Amino acid sequence: MNGVFPGFSQNVNNTYIKEAETVNVYSGNVTIGKVIINESLATKLYILSSKQYRDSSGYFVTVIALGNNEKVPVFGVDLDFRFDKPILSANANLMGMSVQESTSENRRNYKLTAAQLNRYPDGIRNVVDLEFKSMFEVKFTIKGVSGNFK
């Protein structure tokens, strides 16, 4: 599929989804991912936007923006992404302290941990912008975020 797709299937009026354990992420009418919410983590990181498209080279690109409306840094970040097919690359755009990234040998898992993620100086809500490239359309599961932000 070519083009940019909107990210979410459901309207979320609050910023914290206590009653849900999982929230689907959509690209058009197709599920591209799932968020597994662990209330005990309370990271205050939310999916702000997501899109999946095919670039001019024929690779599939999945872009996810995480953030919130807070004015302070985000502490204790532990994000775990699992993909149904291997990814070629993972790039994180962020400002933080004690940041570690890793991709599993089979290229189906990506982990990002940080003691502290700082806000961008221009005051935008994004705290982390992630980009994943793959040969095929991928579906993902994220652990470590508090839900969708709307």
What is the model's pLDDT at position 106? Answer: 94
Tell me the three state secondary structure of residue 110: strand
| Low-confidence spans in the chain with pLDDT less than 50 | 1-20, 150
What is the model's pLDDT at position 39? Answer: 56
Integer Cα distance of 86 and 30 in angstroms: 19
Buried b (16+ CB within 10 A) or exposed e, 45-71: bbbbbbbbbeeeeeebbbbbbbbbeee
Q: State whether CATH 3.30.300 applies to domain 22-148.
A: no
Per-domain boundaries in the chain? 22-148
pLDDT (tens digit per residue) in 109-142: 999 988 888 877 776 677 889 999 999 999 999 8
pTM as predicted: 0.74
For the beta sheet containing 46-54, the strands, ordered from the edge strand earlier in sequence to the opposite edge, are: 22-27, 30-36, 140-143, 74-83, 109-118, 89-103, 126-134, 60-67, 46-54, 147-148
